[in-house]
Structure 1
Amino acid sequence: MSNDHLGLNEYQSLASRSDRTKGKGNGFDLPVLGLVGEVGSLLSEVKKRQRDKAAIIGYEQTVLEELGDSLWYLAIIADHADIRLATLDDAGVETDLPFAVLQPQHALPLNTPSAQFEKTLLRLAAATGELAAAVDGSHGDKPLLQARLATVLRHLVQAANESEVLLEAAARANLKKAEDRWPRERTYPPLFDAEFPADEQLPRALEIDIYERDASNDKRYVLQSCRGLFIGDRLTDNIMQPDDYRFHDVFHYAYAAVLGWSPVTRALLKRKRKSKSRVDEGEDGARATLIEEGVATYVFGIAKDFDFFADQNPGDLSLSLLKNVRQFARGYEVHSSPLWLWEDAILQGNHAFRFLRENRRGRVKLDIEKRSLSIGELPR
């Protein structure tokens, strides 16, 4: 992507790299539904801002993101119809057209949505409805589809003007988000403890045995051992209806193996980074441990409803889920980790958890250099 002004066709080509709707339905259903949803989200955000005023956090960022997402769906619909985005402008140019031409003015911070902005969004919603009707069984009418797409783009530009957001900024933020979630090339970031002494690093290769035992009071608990030594406490589910949460430490090991981050695992293995007191307290301390436990509990609660992601592959997990998980860790080093890496950690951890649920015991292997966690049978 150029550091100069971004072009509409350039954006469309870059956006299409993260298109996961091709080959599904008639090629238009999903992106059209997506566009309708994003416009609806914009209207909802304006309504909440007008109702709650200062109680709405991150309003400006949300408008920027929703405009970018709306633009993405518009670009994808056009791409499916083999229509170049730049041809939707009134000038109808065949060559590329910079976003800056659409909005020559500069954007200023937005404090309160104007009444005109709301009206423009309603017109945008109506235009989106007309676009949906145009592709409903009649998308062979390319001139009609192009006219409907052009109307949506015109209202998007108007909405960006009235919200004082540069559409180019929204487009660039959208591309950055797509790369964060569905990158063309997966490049692992450096490990957080790479520059620390070896005895303060998470072990680059490690095996941990996890197994269930019966207690005298008819309860069941989980024990863990590493290199012949017991680690951690006896774990139970700590809930009225048992759900096998007692095996949940495997999620922490997945965070350690894949993200290179786990204050819980550091505490268990006595690998806190004490050579730097600020890191020891701020990144490896009690609050960071609580944050990680919160992440594990939050993901577990959602995973329970989806068979612990048994049918999910890389790229399938909800974007909202991943963003919420990363938001938990805001202010900590792991917040810089890309969303796709968070997904890898969650999927690998849940794979191991499903194995433990089925077998009630297993040997977990961490390979931090390869960013992987695997599990197999534990010899009896």
Structure 2
Amino acid sequence: MESNNKAFTYFDESFDTKEQLPRAFSVSFEEIAGADVPQVRVVLDDNQLGDIINDNSIENDFYRYHDIFHYSFATLLGWSPCARAMMKKKRKSDRIIDEVQDGARAAITEEAISLIVFNEAKRKDYFANSRSVSKTTLRIIKEMTENFEVHVRSEKDWELAILESYRIFRLLICNNGGKVLFDMNNKEISYQSAIN
């Protein structure tokens, strides 16, 4: 599947690099040994990103790996207020952008999208044998993001980002974590097992 975007626009291109999402980076998802419940630590350059995550669920549904969605959205859509906050890449030099595009409402919207998609994904074996996201889910995502810069991304762009993030999500589950390489310039995400 190909994106509908002929030329990819970086929403943060006009900002200093310290306020840009990194164009290439790698993140490790590390299962914490000996924890009472399964937990994951997410690490970039030896620094923990965000909080240690568990499933926050009665069932073991692997939601502890859901940060993969934020970093995938950042890479494939150029948008993730959650990744910006965790990586300390908020665009604070512009008060309006910082408040509206990188603020709490945008981050809550992204978390809600992740959960909406996750609920569909669980019913579909985390998209293991599916090449599509429901039209209803994609329509809801477009409606939820219409006031944010990412509104220019098409439903097809969202579908590609979701399916690719779930490809990696399944690898993280199968291997109890691992390292994920993100290449925003080439719109590629690749996986390495933790033993590499």
Task: Please indicate, yes or no, whether the TM-score normalized by the shorter chain is above 0.5.
Answer: yes
1:207 maps to: 26
Uncovered stretches (5+) of structure 1, i.e. residues with no partner? 1-181
Conserved in 1, the CA contact under 8 Å of 2:109 and 2:144? yes
DSSP 3-state at the match of 2:105: helix
DSSP 3-state at the match of 1:208: strand
Point out the structure with the larger helix share. Answer: 1
1:187 maps to: 6
Matched, 1:284 2:116: no
1:246 maps to: 64
2:128 maps to: 310
CA distance in 2: counterparts of 1:186 and 1:202, whole angstroms: 19
Post-superposition shift, 1:246?
A: 0.5
RMSD between aligned alpha carbons?
1.8
DSSP 3-state at the match of 2:54: coil
Of 110, 113, 121, 1:295 maps to 113
* 1:119-163 Cα distance to aligned partner (Å, 9 max, x none): xxxxxxxxxxxxxxxxxxxxxxxxxxxxxxxxxxxxxxxxxxxxx
Q: TM-score, length-normalised on structure 2?
A: 0.93
Matched, 1:336 2:152: yes
Conserved in 2, the CA contact under 8 Å of 1:364 and 1:376? yes
CA distance in 2: counterparts of 1:330 and 1:350, whole angstroms: 24
CA distance in 2: counterparts of 1:312 and 1:231, whole angstroms: 31
DSSP 3-state at the match of 1:214: coil
Runs of 4+ in 1 over 4 A off after TM superposition: 182-186
Conserved in 1, the CA contact under 8 Å of 2:12 and 2:20? yes
Conserved in 2, the CA contact under 8 Å of 1:253 and 1:373? no
How do 1:118-129 and structure 2 match up within 5 A? Answer: none
Amino acid at match of 1:201: Q
CA distance in 1: counterparts of 2:124 and 2:67, whole angstroms: 19
* 1:290-330 Cα distance to aligned partner (Å, 9 max, x none): 110000000000000001111233xx332222111222212
CA distance in 2: counterparts of 1:302 and 1:248, whole angstroms: 14
Conserved in 2, the CA contact under 8 Å of 1:215 and 1:221? no
Matched, 1:227 2:45: yes
Conserved in 1, the CA contact under 8 Å of 2:3 and 2:156? no
How do 1:338-357 and structure 2 match up within 5 A? Answer: 338-357=154-173
DSSP 3-state at the match of 2:10: coil
DSSP 3-state at the match of 2:185: coil
Post-superposition shift, 1:186?
A: 4.8
Q: Based on CA coordinates, which of the two structures has the bigger radius of gyration?
A: 1
* 1:65-118 Cα distance to aligned partner (Å, 9 max, x none): xxxxxxxxxxxxxxxxxxxxxxxxxxxxxxxxxxxxxxxxxxxxxxxxxxxxxx
Conserved in 2, the CA contact under 8 Å of 1:348 and 1:372? no
Post-superposition shift, 1:207?
A: 0.4
Q: TM-score, length-normalised on structure 1?
A: 0.49
Q: Percent identity?
A: 36
Amino acid at match of 2:10: L
Amino acid at match of 1:237: D
Higher relative contact order (CA 8 A, sep 6+): 2
Post-superposition shift, 1:240?
A: 1.6
Post-superposition shift, 1:376?
A: 1.8
CA distance in 2: counterparts of 1:184 and 1:223, whole angstroms: 31
CA distance in 2: counterparts of 1:270 and 1:192, whole angstroms: 16
How do 1:251-262 and structure 2 match up within 5 A? Answer: 251-262=69-80
Alignment size in residue pairs: 196
